[in-house]
Amino acid sequence: MAKKKSGSRDYFLRFWAEHANYTALVHTTLGIGLGLLAQTFIVSGYTNMIGWLLVFIGVIGHLYPFVA
């Protein structure tokens, strides 16, 4: 069987399936960050840096398979 190139959909699905703990951590981080941003904006009308930091980490975590 021919090896899949690194940019294919199958490569990413296989990467995320093989690294289930990493995937869970990235999605949890992103979810907590979005939750903090929404909660602080609704309650006080501004956003906090911790929420933005967690969203940034979550987005970078989603981009990691592109360079792995």
pTM: 0.77
Cα-Cα-Cα-Cα torsion 22, 23, 26, 28, nearest 10 degrees, comes to: -110
Summarised one tens digit per residue, pLDDT across range 9-64 is: 888 888 888 999 999 999 999 999 999 999 988 888 887 899 999 999 999 998 88
Which residues neighbour 49 within 8 Å (Cβ) at sequence distance 6 or greater? Answer: none
